[in-house]
Structure formats: structure tokens, C-alpha cells
Amino acid sequence: MDNCIFCKIANGIIPSATVYEDDDFRAILDIAPAHKGHIIVLPKSHTDNLYSLDDEVAAKALPLVKRLAKALKAATGCDGINILQNNEPAAGQTVFHLHIHIVPRYEGDGILPVWPQGSYADGEAAALAAEIASKLD
């Protein structure tokens, strides 16, 4: 996609601090990291979000994220890792090229909010689970 900054980065048109590259992905250090070592995994082919991601590429993404997370933990000595992927503005997506964040975390760093825990009324969880299951393709 001509105007997509992440397409340009993923395909080497715009330089980046590349951690990993193969035929399908480029993993780079985020230029505005939550912590040093914050990685963004970019598919080289343009896809707006998870909904339109090719299944073959999707099948390769999580094993790559796992490898990168283990390497990041070993390199930084962080206490934990967050894996984040946002879809659509309501979920915090600001660049409309699918990307996966791998964020090193440290005890007490306070960088990411924890959402409040909700609950379901009697029978509500079962009804919603059934509704979601009925929409699977």
C-alpha cells in the first residue's frame, strides 16, 4: 500500500532498527518504546488488522512472537512480557497495518493500565458464549 508507513518499514523502504526479518515479517524496535527493547512485528504484506490477516501468515505470527519474546527477555532481563495487538480505533489502533507489540515489563513499572474486572449475571456468560460460537466461520 503506497501510503502505509508500516508497509514502507516492513519492506525496507524506510530504515529501522531491525531485530528479525524473513519473507513474511520484519520485527523492529519501536521508535517510541514503552521500555527499551519494545518490539513491533510487522507483516510485509499489507493487512489493516487481524480480521483480514491471511491464515498462512497468521499461523507463522505466534511462533515468531514467541521466539522474539524469549530473545527479548534474555537480552533485557525484564520481569515479564506483554503481547499486544489492537484492532480498530476503539481498541487503540492508530496505524492501520496489523502489528504486534512485544513489550518488556518490569515489576512496578506502571506503564500499562489494568482493566477493571467485570462479571456476568446468571446465565449471561453461557448465552454470550453460544452467540459467539454461532458466528464462527
Helix (H) or strand (E) holding 80: strand 80-84
Is residue 101 annotated as part of the catalytic site, yes or no? no
> What pLDDT is recorded for position 54?
95
**What span, in angstroms and rounded, lies between the C-alpha atoms of 116 and 111?**
16
Express each pLDDT in 69-92 by its tens digit: 999 999 999 999 999 999 999 999
Residues 6+ apart with CB under 8 A from 34: 101, 103, 104, 111, 112
Mean pLDDT of 108-112: 87
> What pLDDT is recorded for position 1?
66
> What pLDDT is recorded for position 58?
97
Q: Which band of pLDDT confidence, cut at 50, 70 and 90, is reported for residue 114?
A: confident
> What pLDDT is recorded for position 137?
85
CA 6 to chain centre: 13
Q: Which percentage of the chain shows pLDDT scores above 70?
A: 99
Burial call 100-122: b when 16+ CB within 10 Å, e when fewer: bbbbbbeeeeeeeeeeeeeeeee
Catalytic-labelled residue, pool 38, 97, 99, 101 = 99
> What pLDDT is recorded for position 111?
87
Residues 6+ apart with CB under 8 A from 27: 18, 19, 20, 21, 39, 40, 41, 42, 64, 68, 102
Residues 6+ apart with CB under 8 A from 106: 35, 78, 79, 80
> What pLDDT is recorded for position 115?
82
CATH classification code of 5-134:
3.30.428.10
> What pLDDT is recorded for position 113?
72
DSSP 13: S
